[in-house]
Structure 1
Amino acid sequence: MAPSRDGETSTLPDGGYDGALAAAVTEHEAGIEPDTLCGPAAPAAGSGRRSRRPAR
């Protein structure tokens, strides 16, 4: 889980996933219950991206 937020992306911590993880630990230690799930993003296999090399 990640830090507590009010549902607005503008209230997410700076620093991307690392910032969210740090805020989650800090808020957990302060007894603040999380209400947001956060995870790192990664492209999916077979996402439709193709090479732009010309055909031979």
Structure 2
Amino acid sequence: MNVMAIPPVYTSQTCHQCLHIHLVPDKYYRSGKNFKCGNCDHTCDADYNGAKMIEI
């Protein structure tokens, strides 16, 4: 089994559906346990979204 280090930068701010990154502080779409993309309106659990971003 290989292990790969994944940089955590922007994993909680990037939508795993459309890969849009929310860099504007007042447009941050993670609220507690919820994530909503401002680009494609995808909504899911914030931890799930982050996990999908680092999934290989």
Same-fold status (TM-score > 0.5): no
> Between Structure 1 and Structure 2, which shows a larger proportion of strand residues?
2
TM-score calculated relative to the size of structure 2: 0.25
Higher relative contact order (CA 8 A, sep 6+): 1
> Between Structure 1 and Structure 2, which shows a larger proportion of helix residues?
1
TM-score calculated relative to the size of structure 1: 0.25
